[in-house]
Structure 1
Amino acid sequence: MMGERRVDQAALFYTFSLEDHVPANHLLRSIDRFVELEGLRAHLAPFYSAMGRPSIDPELLIRMLLVGYCFGIRSERRLCEEVHLNLAYRWFCRLGLEGAVPDHSTFSKNRHGRFRESDLLRQLFDTVLRRCMSEGLVGGEGFAVDASLIKAEANRERSVPGDPGLPPEASSRAIDEYLAVLDDAAFGGATPVTPKFISPVDPAARWTAANKGPAFFAYATNYLIDLKHAVIVDVEASTAVRPAELTAARTMIERVQDKHDLHPDRLAADTAYGSAEMLEWLVNDRGIAPHIPIIDKSGRTDGTYSRADFSYDRAADLYRCPGGKELKQYRRAFRADHPDTPPDDTYRYRASKIDCDACALKPKCCPNGPARKVTRSIHEDARDVTRDIARTDAYVTSRRERKKVEMLFAHLKRILRLDRLRLRGPCGARDEFLLAATAQNLRKMARLIPIQTSPVPV
């Protein structure tokens, strides 16, 4: 039998609890255990006026931003609509059923003002990281570092040539940020090479074709992760060039030691971090074992002997060729002292022309020259240490574990939908990368640490 037609009648009283309507296994319920915002008001207090009408609760704004980045809601306008309609979002944001959702423009006002002035998003990231450490998710022994390109909010079709630079009348917040970081080692000071094109709306974004496809404007997000559970221990925004990525790696390693007293025994990375200067810094300055492939261009493809075929005698500071002859830096005494460090950071060891002329191996050693020459970097000792590490089983393990950082980048782009930036300028990129890394760490804790449920009485 067909039921009666239901007529909607408003009741005088309702008994409704948001707590009862958020499932026990909801992601936000798991994340809420690790969101610690007790010190937020004290941190922001100096950036609010003592008079005037009350502002929007900053804790509400931060909780809404966390919802947006945890669930890949890229638009703040849409985020306000979702929080208004979704009961779980309202519960997480402490809004209740009748709480008013702030206007989307409130986020922009606070972001460009007190949030950046107080470095609030960095403090939020550090607070979540400290919670990860207290929960035992950070081992602190092995780290991995890598960078990934994120497209900037800049149209490649509206680019201008890089040589003439920006028109003098150009003015915007992104341009002001670009001018402020012209000498920054992670942005303008990373390389003297002038980009082929620049974007008038975001000139700090770098024109790059590193993905082997059509060129685009991009920033680089740099992750330093702990290999125990792939927790992100630091994140840094930089321009999309390799020297900037190396600078960002150093910055992150130094910062986590200063802020969180984390000093890894080993660092895993790809070949981009295998430069001689980087290995020297890791081995001798920081005492970190580099589990990194070396950038080595000394091999030859014409069938003649490479530098690896020559043995180095550290005590005598000379090389010996396959024929047993010595290659030295100097073969006579000089009146004036020679500088200890060559101008190009490269030592040159030369064989005697008399030895080479009489050697039967000359056609395979130096067929086009009078005598053989071998170069050695001033950082070669650190490279030798790295070569020795590459022969160990621990190196093989580190190379496999390094893929965890690649998985985080895939999660960032596919699940959190941060394959393209929404904010412009270096500060906008920094804000988005910090919030996304914070969301990833919160989701990590929610997945690895289950909610303790009380036993059901029998």
Structure 2
Amino acid sequence: MLGRLDQQRNFFDEILFNHMLPADHPLLDIDRAVDFSFVEEETADRYSADQGRPSYPPEQLVRILFLAVWANLSDVQVCQQLRYNVLYRYFCRLGWEDAIPDDTTLVRFRQRLGEARWQRLLHRLVEQARAKGCLKGRWLVMDSSPVVAHAAARTRVQLLREGRQRLLQAVRQAAPPVAKELEALAEPVPDATYEDQDQLLQAEQERTEALLAAITSRQAAKAPAVRRVRKQVERVLKDERVASYADPEARWGHQRREKPFFGYKMHLATDETGFVLAATVTAGNASDLEGAPALVEQARVQGLRPRRLVADKAYDATRLREDLVRQGIRPYIPQRTQRQRLPKQGFTYDKRRRQWICPEGHRSIGQSPHQRGGWLVYFSERACRGCPRAGRCLSRSQTRKVLYWHPGTEANRPRGLKRALRVRTVIERTFGEAKQWHGLGRSRYRGRERTAIQVLLTCLVLNAKKMARRLQDARGSGHGKRRAMEWAAA
């Protein structure tokens, strides 16, 4: 049954909070700035209205999980802190005699809501920030950043060897005599037997397949534990991208070409002030473009109408530009290759005549649609043949200049792009804050969905901090113990 917060505190709690709360603290600013009552509205359908014992209030549990991310504490640590930290108890709406949820309750609640519900809670906080005038929303700033998995990556040979040992252990629990017969197949292939790693890998695969075949013909194969481990090993045999049994959804990715990581990618979209509007998580090997449509769609669903979007060159794709222009959003995205940057080559566009003009003053004579979108623009062969720039402008096979142009790239004028890239720095600060102060550089959990919930919770914390700062700036910077006492007595 849904439990609700008791808004009426007893006399002892009022005296305690009035005397023990600090004179000025960021957590008190957040408590005053953010109204968490929307949590009960969004989670009420997960509880029975009249059956069972009353649960811990959902708002209280969200506050505790919020506090854990804010202070970078584990579930166990935050429960320990709530036993004696007066400020934390006040923020979580716990009276001095109230029972404290244990860490298992927090884990079950976090998973019970699921990724979609946490996504909705983030959207509700964005709505509240809009209503209070805390975000602008004229720009949409997109980027991604790695989140290292909470598991060690293995080589393919190591995975096959570990998988056979896991299978043998599962069979041993179900049928010890059968496990005794299969011990030889579970042993690793001697490395010294093969000089070539590819041959060693092939031998390990053959031995693993032989063990699977031997188990399939036995009665022990029907045991639930054996079936579960067998599926994991078969997945490793079929999918070369799996690098861990502990977290099979994590993947190898590259933040830069020379800097690989194992885990996931968080994709965020902020406004021009760094307020997080949308978030999603993909495997580490996903491109930045895979997360872009979901971010734009989340912004649209929330009723946000940004007029400009800025992102780095990883988002340079014709399809994305077309979608943005179709939605009335002007893309400011650097192009991947220098050759595509027409303004930097000295080409200018005459909007009135709809013609491109080359550095020597020659105008384009026609254009045709390109299969990837955009246009191929043609210049006269006669003009190009006698041009002094022909050696630099044309390739060996070209007799005239042919350039590719997409309407979405018009936003990438040097002046406009330079200003837009200055706006883009806000999302780098957001990533830095999330990783340095809230532990988002590494996942606390295993699996994509659990990592996504951690990212969404961290975004809730980042937005709440920004709301508190902006409302505080709007009211003036004067704070004193009297105000803290007023909050405690409210």
Same fold at TM > 0.5: yes
Secondary structure of 1:267's aligned partner: strand
Match of 2:147 among 150, 155, 170: 150
Higher relative contact order (CA 8 A, sep 6+): 2
TM-score (norm 1): 0.73
**Identity, % of aligned pairs?**
26
Q: Distance in 2 between matches of 1:361 and 1:14?
A: 82
| Mean CA deviation greater in 36-45 or 24-33 | 36-45
Match of 1:292 among 312, 333, 341: 333
Corresponding residue for residue 301 of structure 2: 258
Match of 2:448 among 408, 421, 426: 426
Q: Say whether 1:274 aligns with 2:272.
A: no
Contact kept? 1:70, 1:443, Cα under 8 Å = no
What residue identity is the alignment partner of 2:269? L
Unmatched segments (≥5 aa) in structure 1: 1-12, 180-193, 331-339
Q: Deviations over 1:193-252 (max 9, x none)?
A: x8655322222222023245563312111221111x321122222233464x32423322
Secondary structure of 2:150's aligned partner: coil
Contact kept? 1:319, 1:349, Cα under 8 Å = no
Q: Deviations over 1:391-416 (max 9, x none)?
A: 34xx4333222211101111111111
Shift of 1:443: 1.2
| Mean CA deviation greater in 194-203 or 134-143 | 194-203
Match of 1:406 among 414, 422, 428: 428
Q: Distance in 1 between matches of 2:139 and 2:390?
A: 46
Corresponding residue for residue 219 of structure 1: 264
Question: 1:95-106 alignment to 2 at 5 Å?
Answer: 95-106=94-105
Q: Distance in 2 between matches of 1:226 and 1:38?
A: 25
Check 1:360–1:428 CA distance in 2 against 1; reply closer, same or farther (3 A cut): closer
Check 1:371–1:128 CA distance in 2 against 1; reply closer, same or farther (3 A cut): same
Q: Distance in 1 between matches of 2:14 and 2:42?
A: 38
Check 1:138–1:311 CA distance in 2 against 1; reply closer, same or farther (3 A cut): closer
Shift of 1:324: 5.8
Secondary structure of 1:430's aligned partner: helix
Corresponding residue for residue 137 of structure 1: 134
- The alignment covers a number of residue pairs equal to 397
Q: Distance in 1 between matches of 2:14 and 2:361?
A: 93
Check 1:158–1:76 CA distance in 2 against 1; reply closer, same or farther (3 A cut): farther
Contact kept? 1:72, 1:418, Cα under 8 Å = no
Corresponding residue for residue 17 of structure 2: 18
TM-score (norm 2): 0.68
Shift of 1:144: 1.4
Secondary structure of 2:135's aligned partner: coil
Corresponding residue for residue 71 of structure 2: 71
Contact kept? 1:353, 1:370, Cα under 8 Å = no
What residue identity is the alignment partner of 1:40? V
What residue identity is the alignment partner of 1:267? L
Q: Deviations over 1:40-82 (max 9, x none)?
A: 3343333224433333332221111011111111x11111111
Q: Distance in 2 between matches of 1:130 and 1:219?
A: 28
Question: 1:249-398 alignment to 2 at 5 Å?
Answer: 249-259=292-302, 261-283=303-325, 285-298=326-339, 308=345, 342=371, 368-369=396-397, 371-372=399-400, 374-376=402-404, 380-383=406-409, 385-388=410-413, 390-392=414-416, 395-398=417-420
Question: 1:174-193 alignment to 2 at 5 Å?
Answer: none
Q: Say whether 1:246 aligns with 2:289.
A: yes
Check 1:203–1:317 CA distance in 2 against 1; reply closer, same or farther (3 A cut): farther
The runs of at least 4 aligned residues of structure 1 exceeding 4 Å deviation read: 13-16, 158-164, 166-172, 194-197, 211-214, 305-330, 344-367, 451-456
Shift of 1:367: 6.9
Check 1:254–1:367 CA distance in 2 against 1; reply closer, same or farther (3 A cut): closer
What residue identity is the alignment partner of 2:109? N
Q: Deviations over 1:97-132 (max 9, x none)?
A: 22221111112222222x118x43223222222222
Q: Deviations over 1:125-184 (max 9, x none)?
A: 2222222212212112223111111111121246649998x9996749xx8xxx9xxxxx
Secondary structure of 1:438's aligned partner: helix
Secondary structure of 2:281's aligned partner: strand
Check 1:356–1:240 CA distance in 2 against 1; reply closer, same or farther (3 A cut): same
Contact kept? 2:253, 2:286, Cα under 8 Å = no
Aligned-residue RMSD, C-alpha: 4.1
Shift of 1:437: 0.5
Contact kept? 2:251, 2:263, Cα under 8 Å = yes
What residue identity is the alignment partner of 2:144? A
Q: Say whether 1:208 aligns with 2:253.
A: yes
Secondary structure of 1:294's aligned partner: coil
Q: Distance in 2 between matches of 1:373 and 1:195?
A: 45
Corresponding residue for residue 108 of structure 1: 107
Unmatched segments (≥5 aa) in structure 2: 1-11, 161-200, 213-225, 483-490
What residue identity is the alignment partner of 1:121? W
Q: Distance in 2 between matches of 1:289 and 1:95?
A: 48
Q: Distance in 2 between matches of 1:430 and 1:288?
A: 27
What residue identity is the alignment partner of 1:63? R
Q: Deviations over 1:275-319 (max 9, x none)?
A: 333222222x1212223222235369xxxx999477788969899
Shift of 1:16: 5.2
Q: Distance in 2 between matches of 1:258 and 1:372?
A: 47
Q: Distance in 2 between matches of 1:102 and 1:158?
A: 40
What residue identity is the alignment partner of 2:415? R
Secondary structure of 2:83's aligned partner: helix
Check 1:253–1:359 CA distance in 2 against 1; reply closer, same or farther (3 A cut): closer
Q: Distance in 1 between matches of 2:337 and 2:61?
A: 50
Check 1:346–1:242 CA distance in 2 against 1; reply closer, same or farther (3 A cut): farther
